[in-house]
Structure 1
Amino acid sequence: MVADGLHVLFCGINPGLLSAATGHHFARPGNRFWPVLHASGFTPRRLAPAEQGELLRYGLGITNVVSRPTARADELSAREYQEGGRLLAEKVLRLRPRWLAVAGVTAYRAAFGDKRAQIGPQERTIGTTRVWALPNPSGLNAHWTLERMAEEYGRLRAAAFADD
């Protein structure tokens, strides 16, 4: 779900098997993306994965670094991440969102070759688009609680809508 001129283009790592089967991003019930998006103020209510098209109404979009579905992100190769980063950069240059938000700092590091990246805004830009590395909303990322994630996503929301 992408369009020109978004406030934020969220970017997952790659589709999980359920997401690939349903065609909906972050479709696994244990994934916290949709609850965090609401808790951080990006959406007025918690959207279900099947409602991902609603994101466009809020100036948001969603894509992935790598398009190949896997059961786990660690099944992806370094080459897939690098090629995904290249294709993602092309997409961002074409669509020109204010922010690209990669949901997973490890994926961001692998896709863009930035081994020292930390959660938060990055020095890198893609054209005029700023980049933010977010915590991975997977339920496996247990050291980031929903509340802490919502705070970080909220920081991005404040930056993305600062001029509105």
Structure 2
Amino acid sequence: MPFTDDEDVPRSFNGSLDKYIHSPNGTPNASPVKSLKRKLDGKEDEEKDEKKTPARVSPRKTRSSKSLTQSTLISSPSRQGTRSAPPQTGRDSNSDGTESGTGANASSASTPSNGPVSRLRDSTPENLVLLLIGVNPGIMTGQTGHAYAHPSNLYWRLLHSSGITSFRHPPSDTYRMPELYSIGNTNIVVRPTRDASQLSKAEMNAGVPVLEEKIGRCRPEAVCLVGKGIWEAVWRVKHGRNIKKEEFKYGWQDESENMGRVRPVLGGNSEDSWLGARVFVATTTSGLAASMSLPEKQAIWNELGTWVKERREARGFVLPTMSQALGSLDN
């Protein structure tokens, strides 16, 4: 039951509850223990409990047995987590915008080191107009196998509003995007996490050469990095240092930064070489990211959408009719 102002117990223990239970030499202070246990347990201590010596019980075990009752009655949820819990504000998020939950209870159930298996597959056929690259699958995306599956994510909304897709498709249409719009999807890291902050720089860096090889194999006209953090990782690997603030920009990057470049092999066929895909850096679509407003994000995505529409038209690519698209939208 909650403590009231007229009860003769401290209103806040401030993490010092142990001093009311143990003296420095480990001998119980009978009077505070009895008073506190009456308040917590609603019953009197028996005489034999006062005579027990805690020398036979480790202090750690004694505190643990008390904390179960104490935490239930007087501890706030934020005090029950681990010290390594990531902050719950101002953090990046993964591709589908899955939240880690609130408080430390969510972080205590973090992804194991080996991680869950993701059902998401790459959509990377050859010669796409655009390949979209996310950070990594969120938990919901990993479970469903559908890209950007979390309802708070703006990915599917921005694809539609920018003109990259003719309709607002659901995540379940992930694998129809190459056929319907000549766009594909992949990620720089395969491992699903609740939050992108659970990915280290080393893990992001390790994904860059894999990504370069993947792009060189499917050879899209351009790649869109969905989030600033992906470009920062690519830059670190390419240039051997962090990108400077004044060097970063959203939108199209210089042609010298093309990704997936295939260099001619000595004595090989020169036609096998490739100048690489143009790089467009877009904003994250995560619903957790609040550093930019929706109109600001929309303006950047609109620039990409204009280019995609022009390139499809130049190719003579025929967009799906309503009935063709509705075949998946109705599912």
Length-normalised TM-score, structure 1: 0.93
- Please list every run of 5 or more consecutive structure 1 residues that lacks an aligned counterpart in the other structure: none
The 5-angstrom pairing of residues 72-151 of structure 1 reads 72-113=195-236, 115=243, 116-123=247-254, 124-126=257-259, 127=261, 128-151=276-299
Aligned to 1:43: 165
Name segments (4+ residues, structure 1) moved above 6 Å. Answer: none
Over the aligned positions, Cα root-mean-square deviation in angstroms equals 1.4
Q: Which moved more, 1:34-43 or 1:50-59?
A: 50-59
Q: Is the 8 A contact 1:7 1:161 kept in 2?
A: no
**Matched position secondary structure for 2:125:** coil
Tell me the CA shift for residue 161 of structure 1.
Answer: 4.1
Select the residue among 299, 306, 320 that pairs with 1:158.
306
Matched, 1:54 2:176: yes
The gaps in structure 2 that reach 5 residues or longer are 1-122, 237-241, 262-275, 315-331
2:180 counterpart of 1:32 = no
Q: Which 10-residue stretch deviates more, 107-116 or 73-82?
A: 107-116
Question: Which has the greater radius of gyration?
Answer: 2
2:163–2:309: 8 Å Cα contact kept in structure 1? no
User: Is the 1:65–1:111 Cα contact (8 Å) retained in structure 2?
Assistant: no
What secondary structure does 1:83 align onto? helix
Larger RCO: Structure 1 or Structure 2 (Cα < 8 Å, ≥ 6 residues apart)?
1
Contact kept, 8 Å, 2:162 with 2:304, in 1: the verdict is no
* Greater mean alpha carbon deviation, residues 27-36 or residues 134-143: 134-143
**8 Å Cα contact 1:15/1:70 also seen in 2:** yes
Shift of 1:112: 3.3
Aligned residues: 164
Q: Distance in 2 between matches of 1:62 and 1:157?
A: 16
Q: Give distance in 2, aligned partners of 1:107 and 1:66.
A: 10
Structure-2 residue corresponding to 1:3: 125
Q: Aligned letter for 1:54? A: R
Greater strand content: 1
Q: 1:54-96: CA deviations, max 9, x gaps?
A: 2112010001010010000011011111111111111111111
CA contact (8 A) 2:163 2:306 kept: no
Give the distance between the partners of 2:177 and 2:135, measured in 1 at CA: 18
Question: Percent identity of the aligned residues?
Answer: 31
